[in-house]
A = this chain, B = another copy of it.
Amino acid sequence: MGQRIVFPNAPRITAVSTIAGTKECEGILGSYVETPLSDDMFGESTFEKAECKMLSHVIDGAISNAGLTRGQVDMIVSGDLLNQIISASFAARDFSVPFLGVYGACSTMAESLAVAAAFVNAGYCKRVVAATGSHFASAERQYRYPLELGCTRPPQAQWTVTGAGASLVADKGEGVRIVSATLGKVVDFGVTDVNNMGAAMAPAAADTILAHFRETGEEPEAYDLIVTGDLGALGSRILKDLTWEKGLDISANHVDCGEIVYNVLEDEFQGGSGAGCSAVVLNSYLYAKMMAGTLRRILFVATGALLSTVSSGQGESIPCIAHAVTLER
């Protein structure tokens, strides 16, 4: 049946909410993020609890921005980067709402939006919250090294975004319509460098984007933007090369959330990453531009690297995935 699922009933994002850390709000996002943090710990005693609180905060934010109460939401679809997606599960504990835990690493924003739209379009639910987030410090110590060790970062590295974003997907109301979802396959080009996520994820993004355009028969010009999640500067270049090789030139309207999330400073190298990267950019900047009519149609392609420290330690390469959703205003 192909990879693309069409939603004729056009479930729509009627409200969003975002939160982001101090460093994230120094860039272009600063004026779009709903809750800019002055303290990346968000008043909590651990990084993990801060991450969970951020996620809970934006889920609540999306619900109240839609003028709803918790009891009016039919389902929460969420996941995150931490082992056993504890941020999402513990955040969901605060809400007495059916919960669907998903895992797609940094592709979670697109995956959760796709599942939410699928459930709303089919009439299973009327209002679903799709949300995800990440925290630089919890990701560093889980995936890499303790911050206290002060490790040098290689030039191909990215910086995990401290932030979270939530979308309220509803069956009716004013908002950004989710027209279709193109679900990705797991793609592994054999990259083993855990510091080079952009190179690992670019082939997965290319695979899903190529499938999307093959199945729709559209040209890239049909979209104001083709937005990837967190390939970073290097990964973004690789993606453009890979799609160009297959006869699809997306260079004119491709942008990567990881590239725009920070002011370009030396220590982020390739830009932002993490599940929170595309979640924050989509639900703040991009949503605002779509609601204002500046952007009318975008293909949102979040990419995830499906590795763990165990898989890398056992010599495995990095399988990746990308899911895409078509958003229209």
Q: Which A residues are within 8 Å of any B CB, using their own CB?
A: 1, 3, 5, 46, 48-49, 74-75, 79, 81-86, 89-90, 92-93, 95-105, 111, 115, 118-119, 121-122, 124-126, 142, 183-188, 306-311, 314, 316, 319, 321
With both beta carbons as reference points, the residue of chain B lying nearest to A72 in the complex is identified as B1
In the complex, the answer to whether B122 meets A186 with C-beta atoms within 8 Å is no
Question: A100 — which chain B residues lie within 8 A by C-beta?
Answer: 102, 104, 111, 115, 183
Partner of A96 from B85, B185, B307 at Cβ < 8 Å: B185
With both beta carbons as reference points, the residue of chain B lying nearest to A307 in the complex is identified as B84
Q: How far does the alpha carbon of A124 sit from the alpha carbon of B121 in the complex, in Å?
A: 11
Q: How far does the alpha carbon of A185 sit from the alpha carbon of B89 in the complex, in Å?
A: 10
Q: How far does the alpha carbon of A185 sit from the alpha carbon of B90 in the complex, in Å?
A: 11
Q: How far does the alpha carbon of A100 sit from the alpha carbon of B100 in the complex, in Å?
A: 12
**In the complex, what's the smallest C-beta–C-beta distance from A308 to chain B, in angstroms?**
4
Question: A1 — which chain B residues lie within 8 A by C-beta?
Answer: 74, 124-126
Q: How far does the alpha carbon of A307 sit from the alpha carbon of B311 in the complex, in Å?
A: 21
**Identical copies in the complex:** 2
Q: Which of A48, A101, A104, A308 has the most CB of B within 10 A?
A: A101
In the complex, the answer to whether B98 meets A306 with C-beta atoms within 8 Å is no
With both beta carbons as reference points, the residue of chain B lying nearest to A92 in the complex is identified as B186
In the complex, the answer to whether A185 meets B98 with C-beta atoms within 8 Å is yes
In the complex, the answer to whether B89 meets A186 with C-beta atoms within 8 Å is yes
Given A98-B3, A186-B99, A188-B93, do A86 and B306 touch, yes or no (CB 8 Å)?
Answer: yes
In the complex, the answer to whether A103 meets B84 with C-beta atoms within 8 Å is yes
With both beta carbons as reference points, the residue of chain B lying nearest to A5 in the complex is identified as B124
What are 27 of the A-B contact pairs (CB < 8 Å)? A1-B74, A1-B124, A1-B125, A1-B126, A3-B98, A5-B119, A5-B124, A5-B125, A48-B310, A83-B308, A83-B310, A84-B103, A84-B306, A84-B307, A86-B308, A89-B321, A90-B306, A95-B186, A98-B183, A100-B111, A100-B183, A101-B103, A101-B306, A101-B321, A118-B119, A121-B122, A122-B124
Partner of A102 from B83, B98, B102 at Cβ < 8 Å: B102
Partner of A90 from B74, B121, B183, B316 at Cβ < 8 Å: B316
In the complex, the answer to whether B314 meets A82 with C-beta atoms within 8 Å is no
**In the complex, what's the smallest C-beta–C-beta distance from A211 to chain B, in angstroms?**
9
Partner of A185 from B97, B125, B186 at Cβ < 8 Å: B97
**In the complex, what's the smallest C-beta–C-beta distance from A169 to chain B, in angstroms?**
14
Q: How far does the alpha carbon of A105 sit from the alpha carbon of B74 in the complex, in Å?
A: 22
**In the complex, what's the smallest C-beta–C-beta distance from A135 to chain B, in angstroms?**
12
Q: How far does the alpha carbon of A21 sit from the alpha carbon of B72 in the complex, in Å?
A: 45
With both beta carbons as reference points, the residue of chain B lying nearest to A121 in the complex is identified as B122
Partner of A85 from B5, B103, B187, B314 at Cβ < 8 Å: B103
